[in-house]
Amino acid sequence: MVSSSELFQLIKGLSKAEKRYFTLNSQLQDGEKSYLVLFKEIEKMDTYEEVTLKKALSKQGFKVQHLAVVKVHLANLILKSLRSFNESKNPEQGVLSLLVGAEILKNKGLYNQALKQLVKAKNAARKFEMNYYMFEILNREAAITLNLVEKDGDERLKSLFDEIEILKKKVQRETELRVLANKILLILNTKPLKHPNTIKAIDEIANDPNLSSLEESDSFFAKLYHFLTFAVVKRAQSDFSASSLYCQKMLELWERHPQLRAVHRRLYKAHISNYLNSCHMLGDYQPFAYWLEKFKSIPDTNYDEEMGSFKDFSQTRLLYLLNTGQLHAALEFTKEIEVGLTKYQSRMNKGRVTPLRFNVFITFFINEKYAEALDWLLTLALDDKIEARADARSLARIMRVIVHYELGHTRIIDSLRSSVYRKLKKDEQLHEFERTILDHIRKLEAVISKKELKALWQNLYQQLNGIGDKYGWNKIAGLEEIAVWAESKVLNRPYVKLMEERKQR
């Protein structure tokens, strides 16, 4: 059974080429095509409305009492059409199709023809390092070989079993490294990095025996996840130089395997984005122009790729503009981001899009557009269960207090500040940086004279500079933005001008 919203999303997610392929194939079929009428009506809709759809269908003689059945039939036909459309374009689909063909031939007793299909599948799987499919191919090949009465049958079976044994070790190694990469990514995205338990978990991953060496015989993906694990470990440990080097190793690996790069475009582009983010942590923006252009030159061929590219490119380009002092261009770019977020919002993970929304907020904040900044800040998912870094959630809460202060919302400042203070303390995120800002806001509430006010701002600016020198400016999220905010108060100069000057030094 398929729901109406799922069918609507399926049809809306089709590319123009996929829609054309489905329509042409449907027109070649004989018999009643009420499903095609339904397809065209849903395709016209911007939002799904069952009542409107039924009215439109009734005018064309469609029997609406059969609508539920036709929906299921249409969904199945679309999926069948997509499988056929992608068979020649996607190596994975091609391998699966060959496996189905081999099974049909085997069931008819046409063993030699079935083996030919499996050989084709094996060659494709080996070329594109589809090691998980290789297991299925080799096992099926062995099963068919058992049915053949040939002189060299025993030798062929022994060779297949030897190949399976080697493959088993390779896949086990690849799987273990993939698990480690996913574990450290989860820690980076969800855990407070300074907490003793988090530090212990990171150290355990870094010292895992599977990371002790990298073999030449390791698969492409084993090598990729080996580099990725170290890149994320080093980032979590604030060793950004080492993290960047491992990100470079990943891109070098991709460059040596163009056939895999072409198939795994989404993953490749995500790793370009990771490398540029590592450059951002080092304050090195020289590689950005080249790699952003490289990123844009790689075409997206489906909805998932398009959505992922929007998120990664938007985040990376916005960081580039912000950190090279192109603040007006950054503000203009937020318009494109807003359009993209509206387009993809129903299918984007809230936690994954939080960093992008936060950087849009920062763009408005730097440009002193505090009302718009607050609007964006309120869209952030700060739920502890959402996959967003703990320090990022803490910074968002701090910034909420600051923006309300700038907007003159004096009635809620004290309670909001106290609430944030308690929350950060409970989460063990109340460090020197957070405590300094919240204490400053508390003192502002009791200030009477301009002289006292200026002294308070001067003190905050000095404290934040001390924190930056002590811990490192690039190791505390939001430190630079808030320090320049304090400086603008001390010098009585526009925030955006000071930030531009700072970035262009």
Task: State pLDDT tens for residues 11-26.
Answer: 888 888 889 888 888 8
Q: Of 1-10, 252-261, 437-446, where does the model show the most confidence?
A: 252-261
Higher pLDDT, 413 or 388: 413
Residue 88 has a pLDDT of: 67
Per-residue pLDDT reduced to its tens digit, 261-310: 999 999 999 999 999 999 998 989 999 999 999 999 999 887 888 899 99
Q: Given a cut of 70, is residue 2 above it in pLDDT?
A: no
**Mean pLDDT, residues 56-67:** 86
Element (H, E) at 191: none
pLDDT of 389 reads: 64
Q: For the purposes of burial, counting CB atoms within 10 Å of the CB of 478, is it exposed (0-12), middle (13-18) or buried (19 or more)? A: buried
Share of the chain above pLDDT 90, in %: 56
pLDDT, position 461: 95
Residues in the chain: 505
Which residue in 389, 331, 337 sits closest to 397, CA to CA?
389
> Do the beta carbons of residue 496 and residue 327 sit within 8 Å?
yes
The letter for the amino acid at 410 is T
d(CA 434, CA 440): 10
Q: What secondary structure does DSSP assign to 332-372, as a single string?
A: HHHHHHHHHHHHHGGGS-HHHHHHHHHHHHHHHHHTT-HHH
Other Cβ atoms closer than 10 A to 46: 6
**Span 385-393, average pLDDT:** 62
Beta carbons of 360 and 376 less than 8 angstroms apart = yes
Q: Is the pLDDT of residue 225 over 60?
A: yes
Q: What is the mean pLDDT of the chain?
A: 89
Instruction: Report CA-CA distances (Å) from 436 to 232, 313, 433.
Output: 29, 34, 5
Compute the CA torsion angle 271, 341, 482, 471 (nearest 10 deg).
-20
Note the pLDDT of residue 200.
Answer: 95
Average pLDDT over residues 316-336: 94
Q: What residue has token string 């989860």?
A: 186
* Beta carbons within 8 Å of 373's beta carbon, 6+ residues apart: 361, 364, 365, 403
> Contact, 390 vs 427, CB < 8 A?
yes
Q: Predicted confidence band at 148 (pLDDT cuts at 50, 70, 90)?
A: confident
- Please say whether the dihedral angle defined by the alpha carbons of residues 363, 364, 367 and 368, taken in this order, is positive or negative: negative
CB 467 within 8 A of CB 432: yes
Q: Please give the torsion angle defined by the CA atoms of residues 136, 140, 146 and 148, in that order, rounded to the nearest 10 degrees.
A: -150
- Alpha-carbon distance of 267 to 25, in angstroms, equals 32
Asked if pLDDT for residue 383 goes beyond 70, the answer is no
> Is pLDDT at 31 greater than 90 in this prediction?
no
CA dist 427 → 4, 194, 304, 421, 457 (Å): 42, 11, 35, 10, 28
Longest dimension (CA), the chain: 101
Per-residue pLDDT of 446-477, as tens digits, reads 887 888 999 999 999 999 999 999 988 877 88
What is the reported pLDDT for 473?
84
Residue 331 has what pLDDT?
96
Tracing tokens 């002289």 back to the chain, one arrives at: 451
Identity (one letter) of the amino acid at 392?
A
Given a cut of 60, whether residue 386 has pLDDT beyond it is no
